[in-house]
Amino acid sequence: MATYQKRSGSWRAIIRKKGYPQVSATFDTKAQAERWAKQIETEMSQSRFIDTREADSLTIADALERYKREISVHKKSHRNERSRLAILTRDLGGYTLTSLRSSDVAAYRDRRLEVASGSTVRRDLALLSHLYTIALKEWGMPVENPCAQIRKPKLNKDREQRVSDAALGRILEAARGLHAEMPNLITLAVESGMRRSEMLGLKREEVKGSVAYLADTKNGTARAVPLSSKAREAINSLPVSRLDGRLFAIHPDTVTHYFARSCKDAGVAGLRFHDLRHEATSRFFERGLSIMEVAAITGHKDMRMLRRYTHLNPSTLAAKLG
């Protein structure tokens, strides 16, 4: 049976039942406390009682912080995920795990779409959804996922940005005045199709002859990247000065910033550094490599994703037709 305590004008109901944790709640009147106690006791007697107190009190902000410590830190993309966690904390952190409703998430989605792309917002929602999956399956909290039923934003259209040799030459010239390593990095990106993180993490000892051996990649699978003569020249012309053996000393964020400035100075609009990986992939196909050969170089496991990254030059295709 429940017991009741009167405290400073309010009533506290306390329920103790074998096999269940002690639960209590405070109400303005004794009648409210009795109704609540009767409901809880009925649920316990019918084995339907679920203790939601921890989830009721855990804010999204605190849950995301725990997620960062226990889950995110073990992902290869954890550095990139930090900003996404911060945005979710800023916009939804005041809710608790059980108070956040689908309508709240939908409103967040619509606000984010005013300043971010559909693909970015989809990744936001995927992260929030995974938080609830972890809370349910690993933290033992009886929560319902508010992301499950809402509409997902449309994906961005495939980027079809290509860069001509002439435009690339202007970008290289502009980059040379910003940082000594930038032209080498840009050339290596176009010639090898490696990701920015793969190139910046590459050590000289991992380059053997005409092949770069990548032990740590985005998808977790090691791969060997064949190097063209231009790629080898870009590597060999770098100074051998770093104690840790890495080829490049430039910071990832600096690469993004300097590449944008180089494109602006070169009069090339709409090009991002990651587009160089797209460019390299397209050039591999234009050189006559098969889809399996290109996948072996770039590390793509999903052929559909490889197709998204590939935009062949129509003039090159026309020349092949004769």
What residues are annotated to the active site? 195, 218, 274, 277, 300, 309
Q: Quote the tokens at residue 184.
A: 């080498």
Q: Tell me the one-letter amino acid at 60.
A: I
For residues 217 and 299, the answer to whether their CB atoms sit within 8 Å is yes
Is residue 68 within 8 A of residue 134, CB to CB? The reply is no
Question: Residue 60: exposed, middle, or buried by beta-carbon count in 10 A (0-12, 13-18, 19+)?
Answer: buried
DSSP 25: E
Dihedral of CA atoms 15, 16, 22, 25 in degrees, nearest 10, equals 10
Phi first, then psi: what are they for 255, rounded to 5°?
Answer: -60, -50
Name the nearest CA neighbour of 189 among 256, 112, 123.
256
Region of 104 on the Ramachandran plot (φ > 0 left; ψ -120 to 50 alpha; else beta): alpha
- 3-class SS string, 260-282: HHHHHHHCCCCCCCCHHHHHHHH
3-state secondary structure string, 85-102? HHHHHHHHCCCECCCCCH
Amino acid at site 157:
K
Listed residue (80, 102, 193) closest to 152, CA to CA: 102
The span from the CA of 71 to the CA of 67, in Å, is 5
Place of tokens 């606000």: 111
- How far apart (Å, rounded) are the C-alpha atoms in residues 275 and 190? 9
